[in-house]
Each structure stands twice: as structure tokens, then as C-alpha cells.
Structure 1
Amino acid sequence: MAGLERFLADEAATARLGEDLAMSLRPGDVLALKGDLGAGKSTLARALIRALADDAGLDVPSPTFTLVQSYETRLPVHHFDLYRLSSASELDELGFDDALAQGGAALVEWPERAEAALPDGTVWIELVHQGDGRLAKLSGQGAAIDRAARSLAMRDFLTTAGWGEAGRRFFVGDASARSYEIVSLAGIAPRVLMNSPRLVLGPPVRDGKPYAVIAHTAQSVTAFVAIDKALHAAGVSVPEIHAEDLEQGFLLLEHLGAEGFLGQNGEPIAERYAAAAELLAMMHGKAWPDRMEAAPGVFHDVPPFDREAMLIEADLLVDWYVPMLTGKPAGNALLAGYHNEWNKALDRLEGSQYTLMLRDFHSPNIIWRGDRTGHDRLGVVDVQDALIGPAAYDVASLAMDARVTISPEIEKRTLDAYVAARHAAGAFDEAAFREAYAIMAAQRNSKILGIFVRLEKRDGKPFYLKHLPRIRDYLRRALAHPALSGLHDFYAAHGLLEERPL
């Protein structure tokens, strides 16, 4: 990558650069700070560490005499000062490689003393005096410098939106490449900065098409903007969009809050799940277009949740979960039987109500706003992957929350709240809905079993495996519906419902 430059007019601008770099930092990254005495290295390092710790008053002493200071922040960060090193070989004695190997990042002052020992992906940051300020020159090769460049572009976006001096703090990330920050200016309510890079399509997996194309995963932030605006117009509380850059994938959003659906001990609050079910009932009583406008002349065509998408999602179970259980890929006979049973189950969806399906309507994506009334108590986020699909799908996503243990009693209360609201609004085929609910719950939880194993095996995120017992329980509940007896018997015969040690 070509070098990046930023003029830093004062100490505040230097601190903002530290925040920008903190937002891009990942485990294994190395930032090398070069510059003469008084160039601002300590100011930048202090701001970076405080941003990672989300503590503006954190004491960050210079490691000149200790040589290294370590901080347990959002990710462990180790601040090295190599001024007193006599040779690069001494870096090993400071635990440099171990710090990176254990999931930490390194911030290195006076890196010239051990330049040959630093990894190839190091981001070099040189601070030089220029007039009354400083010029920061960033260079490097690889993912870390690319992330730093994107973070600087996000600062430019904030500047264009009138928020150039905002403080930035990490908010939340998810299983995709998207991430969110809280940005703050004195005297103004905080907002959310959404970073949604264009989806990188993987290799072809079926009929020459990548998985994301078959599953209809949103490929750009345009989908979020269009669906957000349509939901807002229909009376659903979604974030107001204060500024947008559709090309780069940046949005400045209203901050709906941070209170969720869980009590102090992590237990699900039944009344909130019921309220969310009633919101779904309201949404499912409306007619939704399959083409939505994101900006003048810019449209998003909402894809269908068609059979091809349903099947490739369900196939994640045989692609990832089965090999984890058996130690080998699923055989042809198992695959043929699996597809046969799933096609018979999906045939039963014919005649089911199809509507706007948000796809991940579960507690991490719903904000509870207890000071509001009615449906406005529920703020809905993460809507970009919406499809036109069975109404029952989002109810299953909510009532069998993938990251929260929902008891059969709370599941029943959630379903009953939805059914009662649909009946109150007019004619409603409850039996058809409950059958579709079972099918969609089985499909979704089969997919999630595969996804959680994939996140561990492919993406190095083992903490998702702790959810597997819950997902298996949900799957057993869904497959208990009489309409799914064939699918249930198939899963049981192949040991797919059995409890397994993690």
C-alpha cells in the first residue's frame, strides 16, 4: 500500500489519530512509532491505549525504564520502548513474540533499534515536525495497514458529517466483517458509526456461485439503508441515518440504546420477548415491496428466501457439524437422504404467508427502550440481510434465540403473544403458521449448528461452541412437530440430535 499522511495541527489531532489506530487494531498487529524527542509519540500511544481501554483517565506511563508496559484492554496491548536496547536479539527477552502469539498487539517506540526483528506486516508511523504541527506518515504492507487506512477514511467521513472531532470507542462487532463504534461530541447525544465494507464473495460452492450469492447475503450497505428507510416509514423503530457514504460503506446512525432482553443474571425477560413477537405480528400484517429505495435513483431489490437459499443454509450442518461429529466428511448416502427429507419438509411451506423477513430477529439485534410505549419500546438494528420469506422464520429466530437459553415456557409465551396479535388483527391460519414455524426453526437451527462449528474450525473463534447444546435442544423441539416426523427420524438415525462433549 502507498503511504498515508495526516497533518496533525495540535495535540488533540494527535490523540484523535491514536483513537483511529486503536479502532483498527487486531490481535497480532504491530505499530512502530518513529520520531524525534517531542514529536508526539507518547501522546499518540497514550490516546491509543486509553481508547482501547475505554478509559480517558487511564494512567499510561512511559515504558522508558521498564522497557514494556502491558494493558488488559479490549485486546491485550503491549507498549514497548526500545531506546535502551543494545541489539535486536534482546527483543526476545522482553517477550515480544509471546505477546503477539497470545492474541495481543504491540505498540513499539524507537523501533529502529530492532527493525529487522519486527514482522513484515508492521505498520510504520513516523511523526515529523511541520510548521506549528506534525506530519504523520503511515506505511506498511498487509491487512493491518489496510485496516488503518479504512479507519482514517472513517475519520474523513465523520469530518464531512460535521463530527470530525468526535471521540471514537468500539461498540460491537459480529460474525461478519461489519463493526460498530460509539462516537461522541460534547453536548450532543452519542451516535453509532457503522463500518460495513462491501462483502467479499468467496469461491464458487455450487453451480458456479459463491455461498453468499446463493444465500442472498447483503453485499453492500445499500441494503441496510433501503430496508431501514422502509421499516421507518412503516412505523418500526430503526436507527435514523444522519449521514451515509454508500460507496465506502459508512453510516452515521442514531444510537437507540444498549439495554437488551436479559436480566441482571443473564436470564431472558419473557415480557420483552412477547413484546417483540407482537411487533412482528404488526409487521406481518403489512404489505412490503420487494424493491426499496436507498437514495434517489438507488434501489435495493429484496431477494427471496427461496428453496436454493434454504437448502444451502441447511447444508451447513452436513458441511461442518457432521465432520466434527464423525471426523470425516458426510458421505453421499447421508447427503442424499438429508436433501430428500429437507425437500419434503420445504414442500410443506407451499401456501405459507411470505413477508419481509429480517432473518436475524433475535435479542442481540433488538434494543429495549422501557421509557417508550407500544412498539416504540423496541429498537431494531442489523436489518441488511432481510429477505422476502416465510413469516414464521423471524418468530422462530426470536423464540429460539441462538445466544440465550429460552425455556419451553418462554418460547410458548412468545409464540402465544404472536398468535394472539395475529388473530386480533383479522383472519389468521394458526395451524399453517405453527407448521411453518417448526420447519423454519428446524432449518435455522440446523444452519446455526454448522455456522458455529465453522466459526471455530475456519475462523478460529472457539467460543461459539458453547452454544451447541442449546441449539441441539432447539432443534429437538422443532423436529417434534408431527409434520417433521421423517426429518426427525433421519436426524435421530444419524446421531445428529445427541448431546456431545465440547
Structure 2
Amino acid sequence: MIPPSAAPAFLDRAGWDGAAILPLAGDASFRRYFRVVRGDARAVLMDAPPAHEDSRPFLHVAAHLHALGFAAPRILAQDLDEGLILLEDFGDARVAEVVAAEPTRERPIYEAAIDVLRDLHRHGPDMLPPYDMAVYQREAGLFTEWYLPAVGLEAGGGFAAAWEAVLDTIAGRHDVTVLRDYHAENIMLLPGGALGLLDFQDALAGHPAYDLVSLLQDARRDVSAELEAAMLDRYGALDRAAYAILGAQRNTKILGIFARLWRRDGKPRYLAFQPRVWGYLERDLAHPALAPVREWFDAHVPPTARAAHWVAA
């Protein structure tokens, strides 16, 4: 977490000359974050190397969310040639840590997070690219590309056809903004009780059930089946078959991504989340709407390859 060499000059141009640059966080991508401190003023520096990350979608979605009245970080300065963006600092009250420290706050915070989605889904997606069949298939394919080799298996035929069958109607829904990574580690508690949104640069126009899955089938923390059911009821009218289908698709993708982070990127810590993700996936696959995909998994992924005990290897 050494700051990029261009950071001091960038901060000088932005009026933050002499500010301290402190490590804040990295994530599963090539992006890194630093806290910038000068006196009592604070901001967040996002380092998104242009060779690996395109920050223009982040700026577009941030503007879209702001226009709708949602709390995305304000953009204080930017230099896309260097991959540097200075953001409003939302502080340290991240939902994941808050509910871990104060479990009694879990339900009201999740209720507020559901309300954000319900409000967001009242608006159109503002010319975002579509979450179409090609994207769904590419994401699901990460499972056969990365997870199966990690457990010593080869992909059998019919994987894409099975997903085609269950995603056929969903892939045509492009009516809401899908943030795509809406979960407890990407939501901040702000003064006054508002929720701050982070990590939305991959947003697409898609189905309203997707971000509900992101929140309620969280790969990084346990969300009880009781809380999941209560929050779905709070959201209101929703195609539960679509929720199960998108849950299965997202969790299949995540299993592949976490295996890739381990094998390709040298980030083994994500492997500890695999058993939880398998639990969600097994539950989703039990829905009748997932029959073709469930049959493929039953034929090609034995139970011993599902529990992720291979992590220790």
C-alpha cells in the first residue's frame, strides 16, 4: 500500500498540498484506496491504474446516483490519465463492522438498505449497458474456468445450455440500475442515518432481484434465512423464481472469482468464504426454476467438491 508516485502532485493540484496519504484498503480488483488527511479535512484517494481499470463508469454512475438523491461519494478531483480520483470520505462506519459489533442493529440497518434498493428501483438505469445473456454466461463461466480446475475436475458439456434455459426471460430485463456489489462491506453508515454507497463502477441495467441477492446472500458474512425472508417481504412484489435464478448465477460466479483470486492473483483469503457461498448456491439450486442447472451440477460436481475443504490444499 505505497501511494502511487503521481499522488502528491495530483493532490497539490487539487488543493490538498502537504496532505498525509495513509493506507486505507485494497479490494479484489486492482483498485487501492488511501485516506488523505490535512488538518481536520479528510478525503479518499482512489488509485485505479488505467492499464487495468477504467474509471469512467464509476464517474458516470456516481453522477447518476447523485442526480437521483442517493449518497455516492462526491468527486473532489480526478486525473484519469494517472488513474487517480479524490473522493468524499464517508468515514469508517462500514455496515459489516457495525453489525458485527452491535448485532441488535442488524435488522434496522438491513431494512434501510432494502429501502435504498426499493427507492433506486423506482428510477430508470440512465443509459447503462445491459445485463444481458452474454454477461450472465461470461460470469457463470468463471466457475468452469477457475473453480473446477482448482478441485481437479473438468467441465462437462451442457453448462451454457443449462444457464441459457433458466436465464432466458431474466436476461431481457434491463429496467433498473444494478449496482452489482451491493453488500455490507460496500455500504457506509453516514451521520444522520443515511447509507453511503461504494463500489458501484460495474453497474449495469438489469433485473431488480440481482442487488437483493448481493445484499441477502452475502459471500462475506452470514445472513440468516430468517432475515433474508423478512427483507424480501419488506421489498415487496418480487419474482421469487428470478431471485433464486440470479442467486444461483451470482454464487456460481463468486465461486469462480474467489478461485481465480487465489490461483491467479495470489489472494487466498477469499477461499475462506467458499463454504458460505456453496450454502447459498445449494439453497438456490433447490428451486424448481433451476432444474436444468441443478441437473448439470448433480452430474458434474460431486458433493466432495462442493464443501470447499480443498481450501487447505
Q: 1:322 is aligned with what amino acid?
A: L
Q: CA deviation at 1:459?
A: 1.3
Matched, 1:261 2:95: yes
Among all aligned residue pairs of Structure 1 and Structure 2, give the percentage whose two residues are the same amino acid: 39
CA deviation vs aligned residue, 1:118-176 (integer Å, no higher than 9, x gap): xxxxxxxxxxxxxxxxxxxxxxxxxxxxxxxxx22111000001112001101111111
Counterparts of 2:30 and 2:267 in 1: how far apart (Å)? Answer: 14
Answer whether contact 1:359 1:397 (CA < 8 A) is retained. yes
SS of equivalent residue, structure 2 residue 29: coil
C-alpha RMSD over aligned residues: 1.9
Q: Which residue of 1 aligns with 2:201?
A: 384
2:49 pairs with 194, 197, 218, which one? 197
Counterparts of 2:179 and 2:302 in 1: how far apart (Å)? Answer: 28
Counterparts of 1:500 and 1:167 in 2: how far apart (Å)? Answer: 42
Q: Which residue of 1 aligns with 2:289?
A: 483
Q: CA deviation at 1:199?
A: 4.3
More RCO (CA 8 Å, sep 6+): 2
Counterpart mapping for 1:141-152 below 5 A: 151-152=4-5
Q: Which residue of 1 aligns with 2:107?
A: 270
The runs of 5 or more residues in structure 2 that have no matched partner are none
1:372 pairs with 174, 192, 206, which one? 192
SS of equivalent residue, structure 1 residue 269: helix
Q: 1:354 is aligned with what amino acid?
A: D
Matched, 1:155 2:134: no
Q: Which residue of 2 aligns with 1:232?
A: 66
Q: 1:404 is aligned with what amino acid?
A: R
For the structure 1 residues 496 and 252, does the alpha-carbon distance in structure 2 shift closer, same or farther, using more than 3 Å as the test?
farther
Counterpart mapping for 1:175-186 below 5 A: 175-186=28-39
Answer whether contact 2:216 2:228 (CA < 8 A) is retained. yes
SS of equivalent residue, structure 1 residue 152: coil
Matched, 1:320 2:146: yes
CA deviation vs aligned residue, 1:414-457 (integer Å, no higher than 9, x gap): 222212xxxxxxxx5x3xx2221111111110000011111111
Q: Which residue of 1 aligns with 2:248?
A: 442
1:357 pairs with 178, 183, 191, which one? 178
Counterparts of 1:153 and 1:23 in 2: how far apart (Å)? Answer: 11
For the structure 1 residues 227 and 322, does the alpha-carbon distance in structure 2 shift closer, same or farther, using more than 3 Å as the test?
same
CA deviation vs aligned residue, 1:222-267 (integer Å, no higher than 9, x gap): 1111110110110111111111113222111111122122434586
SS of equivalent residue, structure 1 residue 401: coil
Counterpart mapping for 1:24-423 below 5 A: 24=3, 151-188=4-41, 190-200=42-52, 219-262=53-96, 263-265=99-101, 269-290=106-127, 302-325=128-151, 327-330=152-155, 334=156, 336-349=157-170, 352=173, 354-369=175-190, 371-373=191-193, 377-419=194-236
Answer whether contact 2:132 2:172 (CA < 8 A) is retained. no
The count of aligned residue pairs is: 305
For the structure 1 residues 395 and 199, does the alpha-carbon distance in structure 2 shift closer, same or farther, using more than 3 Å as the test?
farther
For the structure 1 residues 485 and 237, does the alpha-carbon distance in structure 2 shift closer, same or farther, using more than 3 Å as the test?
same
Q: CA deviation at 1:393?
A: 0.8
SS of equivalent residue, structure 1 residue 242: strand
Counterparts of 2:165 and 2:153 in 1: how far apart (Å)? Answer: 27
CA deviation vs aligned residue, 1:182-234 (integer Å, no higher than 9, x gap): 0111132x11011112243xxxxxxxxxxxxxxxxxx5211111110110110
TM-score, normalised via structure 2 length: 0.91
Structure (1 or 2) with the larger CA radius of gyration:
1
SS of equivalent residue, structure 1 residue 23: coil
Runs ≥4 in structure 1, deviation > 6 angstroms? none
TM-score, normalised via structure 1 length: 0.58
SS of equivalent residue, structure 2 residue 78: strand
Q: 2:136 is aligned with what amino acid?
A: M
SS of equivalent residue, structure 1 residue 477: helix
